[in-house]
Structure 1
Amino acid sequence: MSISRRNFFKLAGITTALLAIDSIGFINQPKIGRSPKGDELAKILKSPHYVNGEFQNLEPTSVLVNKDNYYNGIKEILFPTKGVTVPKENIPTQKTDLNALNPKENLLVWFGHSSFYLQIDGIKILVDPVFSDYASPLFFINKAFAGTNIYTANDMPDIDVLIISHDHWDHLDYATIMSLKHKIKHIVCPLGVSSHFYHWGFNPDIIHDEDWYREIKLSDNLKIHILPSRHFSGRFLDNNKTLWASFAIITPTKKIFYSGDGGYSPQFQEIGDYFQGFDLAIMENGQYNTSWAQI
């Protein structure tokens, strides 16, 4: 073997080793979270919705329907066309002083995408908060539109309940969660998502995770039902090791439905019928693409 070829393979080997080391460092970052283990995994294994090593939707579901359009969609996410997928001007927004609100008033404040704040019967609820500039593990993917990320954790009052619908980056943001840590009294999430919170050092006593069709009773005045949605989960390489969900939030005077992420499903009708309607339904929309039409 010539010296030049030997050097090439040596350099290639060193490069591969460095990339492997870098990858290990990346996946071991706290923000990645961790997969369920121990008692968390044992609880998951009892779920009828966990089959062949992963959670399943209630109906046959493909994450990708049209791969050709999918790759075009991913290209637009990574290299967006200015003025087509990215607004040319700042999105008009209005910032509300949450700490100045009447705590007895029933209200909703939307922060963009799936993040919102609820006051219901004096209970303060924060859902899927993402206040970072990027909803991804990489700084150049899923950048918030200019003008939309005007809130920070410092703007939030103490939170009675944090609800997380699933562990995708645009719903579970490490930086936001950690900055809110001292303000959160209870966490409600679907099965397995609790693993991230345990990994991030949250008090296990405040973490409540359950399977679909289960009720979490936090007090006589607040019940939260974990319900199905048609989606998937995962923060890096392991998909569908944690569950995704919709929610019914029930207080003495109000019934609120939050769909979580997902495609259309007959479960919407079934849930509506079971709870005999809702005072407010908060439904995902606007992320539709023919490539992921079912999720």
Structure 2
Amino acid sequence: MLNKLKTMLNKSEHVNPFDWLKQKISNTNQKVVLFGSPGNLGDMLIVASTIQCLEQRGIDFSVGSERYYEANSGNDIYVIMGGGNYIPLYNSVRKMLDHIEKHAPNSEVVVLPSSSYGMEKHLQSLKLKITFFCRELETYKSVSSALSKSQVFLSHDAALYIDLQDRRFRAMRNMRKVLKGRAGDTLHAIREDREKTENFVVEERHNNIDISSLRTNRGSEVLSKHAIDIDSVFEDVNFMLMYLLPFEKIVSDRLHVCIGALLLGKKVDMYDNSYGKLSRVYRNSLKDRFDDLIELHL
């Protein structure tokens, strides 16, 4: 299956979702309404990068409130944060799409780079104009079977567009200066939830800390503004990156713990999660960029 997918697409066809969005609203003068997806500390890396990318391109946005549809100008485009929530295990993105269909039918919706499987029938049922960015080939194939291929794009996980030189990461950079490149020991950060890997047995000697769960679900619902409280988002990402800095190697089945560590130049033992998300993103985005730092365990 993987070989067939590779023949469908090549690396030159990755589309930057933020450049695409900038071009679209430049032509249509649409207003961006941004919805966060509830999640853990690692998901805040996606949110921070998304905010940066919108700001860098001069894309004004408002944060979707509980009664967003009452403020609809008739020219709104609803943008949903990327991630791994549009799968049968979770219901937050499905509920968000259902909510938009109910209160603002036929609206334009953009789903930023995400993983998805098993949601084809739901996508086909929606009376919405959806553009879907996929962060791996398998999701591209799944979503393309439900939507027109002109509405589906292969991209990279949004966290990979982040700029760590942003002034809001000053705390992390200051800690890096204090450490002066000193790093030691290994951090084991294996999940403790239903997505945890089947290929690593956590023992007491590992002192495992699932750091993504240390700060989780600032917004318990997609429509909660706390899911995109900008100051809190950058505070969370600083916390996570500073937590990773003193370690030489990270062992994890958390995609964004791995990505955060790679962005810091750490060695990473990457274990696949329960449904193959990490290995798929690795093949689509991480292999060429970070292959010398990653040891992948399937």
Q: Same fold (TM over 0.5)?
A: no
Name the TM-score, length of structure 2 as normaliser: 0.30
Using structure 1 for the length normalisation, give the TM-score. Answer: 0.30
Q: Which has the higher contact order (CA 8 A, sep 6+)?
A: 2
Q: Which structure has the larger Rg? A: 1
